């Protein structure tokens, strides 16, 4: 732990406004009061972009993309500018990390270890694709030449959630920009500020003004207007399944725009009794549900554990769950995040209480955490005696709540791992390679981690869900391709 990372939240500049054409734009009219998750104290009032402000941001982005030649310049030049942007993010990393920590659930130690460096690195990663995806020569008859030429859409809309504000926007803006598009981002109204600072850094680094615009506001007004704008060529969204469905409907009603949707999850951690190192597996299971207090779409929230290792694994997990270090996000000693809002904490608690009422038992935790002032913190919770129909095993919680189901034999374990609706990720822990591969083949999930859980900094592995967990992929080559449209050309000679 680097205690030097602690900071005074009062000393952090808050860029509260829209960001259009390289300028911070203060809104008029209605606002949203934004509070710090750590202690519920107010940060700033956020303007709500109406349809006219959204229109201004999108038209400006379209003009910036055209006039700057972002989509037509030498791809290596685009890559160079994106790398310069990444360098500039790192050069301003402390300031950016403090802003992220102050205004979201990310403890400063995590923000500096993960959010800031991975945001910079995502832009670098996508920059490398600028001159590597050149389309295709098709296998046509000899007297023809068939080409598949890729082109940017123009302006891509990115709508991001509150759990990892910086890194989510870097995935979406990075892929869109590498493909030659401008972006208009609408961050979550609960964590809106670091995205504006990121957009400022883009301009300071020499990217064309207007290429990365930000509109602030809620989903119903601002998000919806952005999705319906006729100049938006593609929408990229991460958030809940219900909102993803609303965005699909808005897209359908306004010109059938293509979508990338990363939605909810209820991902299993399937642990077999043959694991060679219980402590190591427990580390992956606990980390997957305690990191960011479980406010992670890929959280491994359902432990499916073979009976032979059940007791030993749970004893290890309870120790880990009881050792968390909650606190305010600007204290470097904090290791356990607050919940983003009191409302979200009440949602978590409602699911836990309904599950307890249905017959489950809390092995540890099971209620809001006392002694943390006005911040919303939830006790790390392990629920045992859970059946698949109970609310906590079925509904996405987005909190530090692990349900436990026990099984006998491979077939039963694999059957329990699948969720009827969600299919974002799965963890499989076993020493038997054949069993790991059978489970990998059987499980319906967009990502399967074997003998580990969670993404690494290998951005090359795409991420996205099956079933109601989403459509399309973020990260990887697939994310850049999704931000390009393909024109078929047939030449006869
Ligand atoms: P949560 O309520 O947990 O933040 P959401 O999926 O509702 O999850 O929100 C994710 C993002 O989607 C936020 O930026 C939010 O403002 C935005 N959003 C919510 N509703 C809509 C909508 N109807 N159209 C577009 N964006 C929306």
CA distance from start to end of the chain: 68
d(CA 328, CA 257): 41
- Name 467's bridge partners: 422
Say if residues 474 and 463 touch (Cβ distance below 8 Å).
yes
Site to substitute for ligand 1 among 162, 190, 219, most atoms within 8 A of C-beta: 219
Closest CA to 403 of 281, 326, 293, 289: 289
Pairing relation of β-strands 361-364 and 302-306? unpaired
Map residue 82 onto helix, strand or coil.
Answer: helix
State the DSSP H helix or E strand holding residue 158, giving kind and residue range, or none if neither. strand 155-159
Catalytic member of 262, 379, 395, 410: 262
| Pocket of ligand 1 from Cβ distances under 6 Å | 159-162, 186, 188-189, 218-220, 223-224, 227, 239-240, 243, 246-247
Between the alpha carbon of residue 382 and those of residues 239, 305, 357, 361, 388, the distances in Å are 25, 13, 15, 8, 15
Q: Is the Cα torsion angle 87, 89, 95, 98 positive or negative in sign?
A: negative
Is 297 among the catalytic positions?
A: yes
d(CA 471, CA 260): 6
Segments of 328-395 assigned E as strands:
361-364, 381-384
In the DSSP assignment, the letter for residue 153 is: -
Cα 81–Cα 86–Cα 91 angle in degrees, nearest 5: 120
Between the alpha carbon of residue 313 and those of residues 284, 287, 318, 436, the distances in Å are 11, 14, 9, 19
Say if residues 193 and 81 touch (Cβ distance below 8 Å).
no
Closest CA to 326 of 404, 382, 400, 384: 400
State the DSSP H helix or E strand holding residue 490, giving kind and residue range, or none if neither. strand 484-492
Q: What is the pLDDT along the chain (493 residues), one digit of tens a residue?
A: 567 999 999 999 999 999 999 999 998 889 999 999 999 999 999 999 999 999 999 999 999 999 999 999 999 999 999 999 999 999 999 999 999 999 999 999 999 999 999 999 999 999 999 999 989 999 999 999 999 999 999 999 999 999 999 999 999 999 999 999 999 999 999 999 999 999 999 999 999 999 999 999 999 999 999 999 999 999 999 999 999 999 999 999 999 999 999 999 999 999 999 999 999 999 999 999 999 999 999 999 999 999 999 999 999 999 999 999 999 999 999 999 999 999 999 999 999 999 999 999 999 999 999 999 999 999 999 999 999 999 999 999 999 999 999 999 999 999 999 999 999 999 999 999 999 999 999 999 999 999 999 998 889 999 999 999 999 999 999 999 999 999 999 999 9
State the DSSP H helix or E strand holding residue 108, giving kind and residue range, or none if neither. helix 108-110
Pairing relation of β-strands 232-238 and 155-159? parallel
Closest CA to 164 of 224, 114, 234: 114
Between the alpha carbon of residue 424 and those of residues 40, 50, 173, 301, 399, the distances in Å are 31, 33, 22, 12, 17
State the DSSP H helix or E strand holding residue 203, giving kind and residue range, or none if neither. helix 193-204
d(CA 180, CA 158): 15
pLDDT for 2 equals: 66
**CA 238 to ligand 1: nearest atom:** 10
d(CA 372, CA 326): 8
Ligand 1 center to residue 329 CA distance, Å? 24
Taking the CA of residue 469 as centre, how many other CA atoms within 13 Å lie in the half-sphere pointing to its CB?
A: 28
Map residue 65 onto helix, strand or coil.
Answer: helix
Ligand 1 center to residue 13 CA distance, Å? 26
């Amino acid at each position: 732990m680097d205690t030097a990372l602690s900071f005074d939240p009062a000393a952090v500049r808050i860029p509260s406004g829209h960001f259009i054409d390289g300028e911070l734009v203060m809104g008029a009219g209605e606002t949203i009061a934004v509070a710090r998750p750590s202690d519920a104290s107010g940060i700033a009032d956020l303007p709500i972009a109406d349809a006219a402000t959204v229109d201004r941001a999108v038209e400006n982005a379209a003009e910036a993309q055209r006039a700057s030649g972002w989509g037509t310049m030498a791809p290596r030049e685009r890559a160079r500018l994106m790398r310069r942007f990444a360098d500039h993010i790192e050069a301003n990393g402390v300031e950016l990390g403090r802003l992220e920590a102050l205004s979201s659930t990310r403890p400063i130690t995590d923000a500096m270890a993960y959010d800031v460096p991975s945001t910079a690195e995502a832009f670098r990663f996508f920059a490398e694709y600028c001159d590597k995806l050149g389309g295709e020569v098709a296998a046509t008859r000899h007297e023809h030449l068939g080409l598949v030429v890729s082109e940017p859409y123009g302006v891509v809309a990115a709508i991001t959630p509150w759990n990892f504000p910086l890194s989510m926007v870097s995935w979406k803006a990075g892929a869109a920009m590498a493909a030659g598009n401008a972006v208009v981002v609408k961050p979550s109204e609960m964590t809106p500020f670091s995205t504006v600072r990121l957009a400022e850094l883009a301009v300071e680094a020499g990217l064309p003004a207007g290429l990365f615009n930000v509109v602030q506001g809620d989903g119903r007004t601002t998000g919806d207007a952005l999705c319906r704008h006729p100049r938006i060529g593609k929408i990229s969204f991460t958030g809940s399944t219900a909102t993803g469905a609303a965005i699909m409907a808005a897209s359908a009603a306004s010109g059938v725009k293509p979508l990338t949707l990363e939605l909810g999850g209820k991902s299993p951690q399937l642990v077999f009794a043959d694991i060679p190192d219980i402590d190591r597996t427990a580390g992956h299971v606990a980390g997957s549900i305690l990191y960011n207090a479980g406010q992670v779409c890929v959280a491994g929230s359902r432990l499916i554990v073979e009976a032979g290792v059940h007791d030993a694994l749970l004893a290890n997990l309870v120790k880990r769950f009881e050792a968390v270090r909650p606190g305010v996000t600007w204290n470097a000693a904090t290791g356990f995040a607050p919940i983003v809002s009191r409302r979200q904490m009440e949602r978590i608690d409602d699911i836990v209480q309904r599950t307890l009422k249905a017959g489950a038992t809390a092995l540890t935790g099971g209620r809001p955490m006392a002694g943390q002032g006005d911040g919303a913190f939830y006790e790390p919770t392990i629920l045992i005696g859970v059946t698949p129909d109970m609310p906590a095993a079925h509904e996405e919680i987005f909190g530090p709540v692990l349900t436990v189901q026990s099984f006998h034999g491979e077939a039963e374990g694999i059957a329990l791992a699948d969720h009827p609706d969600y299919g974002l990720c799965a963890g499989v822990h076993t020493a038997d390679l054949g069993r790991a591969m059978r489970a990998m083949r059987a499980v319906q999930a967009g990502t399967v981690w074997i003998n580990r859980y969670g993404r690494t900094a290998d951005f090359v592995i795409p991420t996205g869900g099956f079933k109601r967990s989403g459509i399309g992929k973020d990260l990887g080559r697939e994310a850049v391709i999704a931000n390009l449209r393909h024109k078929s050309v047939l030449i006869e000679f």
